[in-house]
Amino acid sequence: MDLESIECVSSSDGMDEDEIHPHHHSEFPSTKPRNGGANNNNSVGPNAITPATSVHELLECPVCTNSMYPPIHQCHNGHTLCSTCKTRVHNRCPTCRQELGDIRCLALEKVAESLELPCKYYSLGCPEIFPYYSKLKHETVCNFRPYSCPYAGSECSVVGDIPFLVAHLRDDHKVDMHTGCTFNHRYVKSNPREVENATWMLTVFHCFGQYFCLHFEAFQLGMAPVYMAFLRFMGDENEARNYSYSLEVGANGRKLIWEGTPRSVRDSHRKVRDSHDGLIIQRNMALFFSGGDRKELKLRVTGRIWKEQQNPDGGVCIPNLCS
């Protein structure tokens, strides 16, 4: 749930095991392959196999649609499925509903060991081809794998590429969208002594051709209620390192300043929060910054994002501030 009575002013320029049915393909919500389809990098050598071949289809589990790895199971009629899904279907063939038993499809296992296959994210732009057993390891870290929705206020299971998720955040979660690399937000809460872990807020910024998620929330740090603000980069970790950001909060002649590198949305919201990688404000300090009778939270958080550029002469990073 959102912070109650929040004013955000920016100056910035969602399977039942008994009803499991076979699938024949899987899709990721995505706008288009990240390589735009300009280069046909999915062509493979004589020892490799393309996604359209019948052998590749034979190795696709009819339940989860993932590639099957030994042990591969089959029913008395020859229908196959992976070992994980054998448990899910309660030992009944999902195709003919016959008892599965403990029959292994050794011939298909041998075929699998000899193959080279494209990454399962080939439709999202990955051009890589791997030996069968190396493919799984690559897919866990593939740069083209879909991202999870960064919205932390609900159990959102939507995945996709960055343009898809930006539209999803805007249209489905009604997240505020701003353009520019500076921000000036005011957070107001009528009863700051009611601190819950689910009390939070999210804003998306677009600058330098990239998207950033600014999080602000209240939670219990041990026994102490705190407020925390941090930035996440909508892209991979190696790209996130190209940017830096600062956050500042203060009043009455005092201020707290945080400078750091935005974390990739590959790291979950909870992982970043629990690492304390951001601006943390104790409640007493937050109320002091709020002024007045200290019974209402009125925090103004300002900040900026900049891109680190390599100095060709000295080899050191220099900030590139947007106008």
- The residue written with tokens 């809460």 in the block is 189
More confidently predicted of 173 and 252: 173
Record the tokens describing residue 203, joined without a space.
């804003």
Mean pLDDT of 121-128: 88
Q: How high is the pLDDT of residue 60?
A: 86
116 Ramachandran zone, left/alpha/beta (phi>0; psi -120 to 50): beta
pLDDT band at 172 (very low <50, low <70, confident <90, very high): very high
pLDDT band at 269 (very low <50, low <70, confident <90, very high): confident
CB-based contacts of 180, cutoff 8 Å, min separation 6:
12, 13, 205, 206, 207, 322
pLDDT tens, residue by residue, 230-267:
999 999 999 999 999 999 998 878 899 999 999 999 99
Q: Are 289 and 229 in contact (CB under 8 A)?
A: no
More confidently predicted of 274 and 310: 274
DSSP assignment of 193-210: T---TTEEEEEEEEETTE
Q: Are 195 and 225 in contact (CB under 8 A)?
A: yes
- Domains of the chain (ranges; CATH) run 54-114 (3.30.40.10), 147-307 (2.60.210.10)
DSSP assignment of 34-89: TTTT-S-TT---TT---TTSHHHHHTB-TTT-SBP-SSEEE-TT--EEEHHHHHHT
CA distance 116 to 113: 9
- List strands edge to edge, sheet with 80-82: 80-82, 72-74, 103-104
CB atoms within 10 A of CB 203: 19
Q: Are 154 and 172 in contact (CB under 8 A)?
A: no
CA distance 150 to 265: 6
Q: Give me the chain's average pLDDT, please.
A: 78
Q: How high is the pLDDT of residue 116?
A: 82
pLDDT tens, residue by residue, 194-207:
665 445 788 999 99
pLDDT tens, residue by residue, 277-314:
999 998 888 888 887 666 778 888 999 999 987 554 54
Does position 147 have pLDDT exceeding 50, yes or no? yes
Q: How high is the pLDDT of residue 204?
A: 95
Of the chain, the end-to-end C-alpha distance in Å amounts to 34
SS3 sequence, 115-133? CEEECCCHHHCCCCEEEHH
Record the tokens describing residue 199, joined without a space.
């009390």
Does position 275 have pLDDT exceeding 60, yes or no? yes
Peptide bond into 71 cis (omega under 30): yes
Helices (H), 126-282: 132-139, 162-171, 237-240, 269-274
pLDDT tens, residue by residue, 55-93:
777 888 888 888 787 888 989 888 998 888 888 888 889
List residues bridging with 244 in a β-sheet: 306
Does position 104 have pLDDT exceeding 60, yes or no? yes
CB atoms within 10 A of CB 226: 18
pLDDT tens, residue by residue, 9-53:
444 443 343 343 444 433 444 444 333 333 444 444 444 444 445
Structural Rg of the chain based on CA atoms: 25
SS3 sequence, 215-228? EEEEEEECCEEEEE
